[in-house]
Every structure is written in C-alpha cells, then in structure tokens.
Amino acid sequence: MGMSRRNSRGSPLARVGAAAAMIVASATCAIAQDFVGGSTPDRRPASAPTIKSFERAPDWMAKARRGISEPYPASLRFLEDQGGWFTPFTRPNMPGPYDIRELYGTRGAVAKPGKGAN
C-alpha cells in the first residue's frame, strides 16, 4: 500500500506536449492543402532540370560491371542504354554478407565490431 497511484489523466507536462503536437500537426495540414502533388503525373514540370548530354568516362562500363564475371548476363544490357540519371547499380550496396559483388573486399569477410567495412 506504500505505492502511489498515477493520475489517469497524465502529467500536466505530457498534456501540454500533446496539445503542442496537435497544434503543429494542424498547422502543417493547413499549409499542405495549398499544394496537390501529382496532379499532372503525365507531364514533367517546365522548371525541372534536364540532361542535355552525357558522356561516359572510359572506365564507366568496367566500374558498372565490377564484381560480375564474364560472360555477362543479358539482364545487364540495360547498361548500354544507361544515361546520366541515377542508378544504384553503379554504386556499392551494403557491406558484409550482403556484398555479393565483393565491392567492399573478399566475400565472407566480416567487419570487426566497431569498425566500418569501407
């Protein structure tokens, strides 16, 4: 019987925090109503940046294919048409056991705890 019961309504500080969160959320919703994203998904905005030309570096294809042995699979033919836009295929993925292309080193090599793999 020595334990005190908590007030079921919560502390005054928690109530003030909840009220502040609701006010901020309401203001955010009111601001967001002025913009409707995706109202013309079939058209690119006139102010969007465009790629005028893209010249690959001489070693671009070799870097894109690193970690993949010959003969290259037909599924890599997309690299021939790859332009200057972003593709995660030309960048290293997660290290450790997920590094199937060995972009971080020998396969099966595990980083020591507290040490980065790159």
Neighbours of 104 (CB within 10 A): 19
Q: What is the DSSP letter of 111?
A: P
Residue 116 has a pLDDT of 47
10-residue averages of pLDDT along the chain (118 residues): 56 82 72 61 80 88 89 92 84 84 70 48
* Secondary element (H or E) of residue 20: helix 12-32
Amino acid, single-letter form, for residue 18: A
Question: 3-class DSSP state for residue 28?
Answer: helix
Task: Assign 3-state DSSP to the chain and report helix, strand, coil percentages, each to 5.
Answer: 35, 0, 65
